[in-house]
Amino acid sequence: NNIQYLEPNVFAGLRTLKTLSLSNNYINMIDSTAFNSLETLIDLNLRNNTIRDLQPRTFKKMKNLRRLDLSINHIPALFPLMFLGLSSLESLKLDGNQILMIADDTFESMINLKELHLRAAGLSLLKPGMFNGLSSLRFLSLQANALSNIPDATFGSMKQLKRIQLEGNKLVSINACAFANVRFLKSVYAAGNPLHCDC
């Protein structure tokens, strides 16, 4: 298809829709009210478009959404209010974007998120506060980025985290307290990094 723009209330009348796939289009702009009638939607796929900006509150009415795929777009930054309303979301895919910054508290409303995918997303910096609110997260994918360091307490709010993938970055060191409070962590994958050990 060749869809480029999602107009205001474009899905009005589809109030019982459960799954919506708009992948492999040329969508570059989404009106902030485009999804307002999709309160029962569970799965939204926007993979492989040309989305650069997501307006605040675009997903505010989607309280039943469980899966959101925004991978392979051109999103440059993530901000608070961008994902407002997604309190039931369990899986968020942002792989293959060009994310230069994730603002503190961006994910604060995602209290039920279990999987966050940020593979090859353009990230070069992690900082404490970036992942605030992700208290239910089990799996975090950060492989194939340009991360060189993991500061203390970066993952401190992820008390349920079990697996993290860090392969193919530029990690030289991982601070001693980077995983403080992450008591259920079972697997850390960090192959393909130039890690240095002084032990």
d(CA 112, CA 89): 6
Q: Any idea which residue has 């895919």 for tokens?
A: 93
Residue 198's pLDDT band (cuts 50, 70, 90): low
- Indicate if the pLDDT at residue 179 is higher than 90: no
d(CA 91, CA 45): 11
d(CA 14, CA 183): 43
Q: What percent of the chain has pLDDT over 70?
A: 98
Residues 86-108 pLDDT 10s: 999 999 999 999 999 999 999 99
- What is the pLDDT, as a whole number, of residue 199? 46
Residues 50-76 pLDDT 10s: 999 999 999 999 999 999 999 999 999
- Indicate if the pLDDT at residue 111 is higher than 70: yes
Average pLDDT, the chain: 94
- What is the pLDDT, as a whole number, of residue 176? 77
Q: What percent of the chain has pLDDT over 90?
A: 82
Token readout for 166 is: 């860090």
Residue 180's pLDDT band (cuts 50, 70, 90): confident
Residues 124-166 pLDDT 10s: 999 888 999 999 999 999 999 999 999 888 898 899 999 999 9
Q: Residues 6 or more apart from 150 whose CB is under 8 A from it? A: 126, 166, 171, 173, 174, 175, 178
**What is the pTM for the complete model shown?**
0.95
- What is the pLDDT, as a whole number, of residue 197? 61
Token readout for 136 is: 């239910």
Cβ–Cβ under 8 Å, residues 74 and 98: yes
> Which helix or strand (DSSP H or E) is residue 102 part of?
strand 101-102
